[in-house]
Amino acid sequence: MKCKYCDKTFPEDDDLVLNYFEHTKINHYELLGDEDKMMHDIREKMIKSKIDHDQFKKEIGDSDLFFNSNDSDTV
Ligand SMILES: [Zn+2]
């Protein structure tokens, strides 16, 4: 994926969206219009909260499994 503001390209991996948002924020934030800035902030928050949520779920899920190993067939 190529940055739409410069020639930088991003590898197509799991962090692509986040990398692209970080890059846009650091390098091109001033180029965004008011509406684009707003969208950028909202989408960035959604992406980050999704990542937090996934990590949270992973940690909690693991400890849940650990603590409730006797009830594993109820999952
Ligand atoms: Zn760029």
Its pTM stands at 0.61
Per-residue pLDDT of the chain (75 residues; tens, 9 = 90+): 999 999 999 999 988 988 998 999 999 999 999 999 999 989 888 888 888 888 877 776 665 555 555 555 655
User: What gap in Å lies between CA 43 and CA 38, rounded to an integer?
Assistant: 9
Distance 52 CA to ligand 1 centre (A): 25
Distance 74 CA to ligand 1 centre (A): 49
- Cβ-count burial 40-59 (b if 16+ within 10 Å, e if not): beeebeeeeeeeeeeeeeee
Distance 9 CA to ligand 1 centre (A): 8
Amino acid making up residue 37: K
pLDDT of residue 58: 79
pLDDT of residue 5: 92
Distance 54 CA to ligand 1 centre (A): 28
pLDDT of residue 68: 55
Distance 13 CA to ligand 1 centre (A): 17
pLDDT of residue 73: 60
Indicate the domain borders of the chain.
Answer: 26-62
- CB neighbours of residue 24 within 10 Å: 19
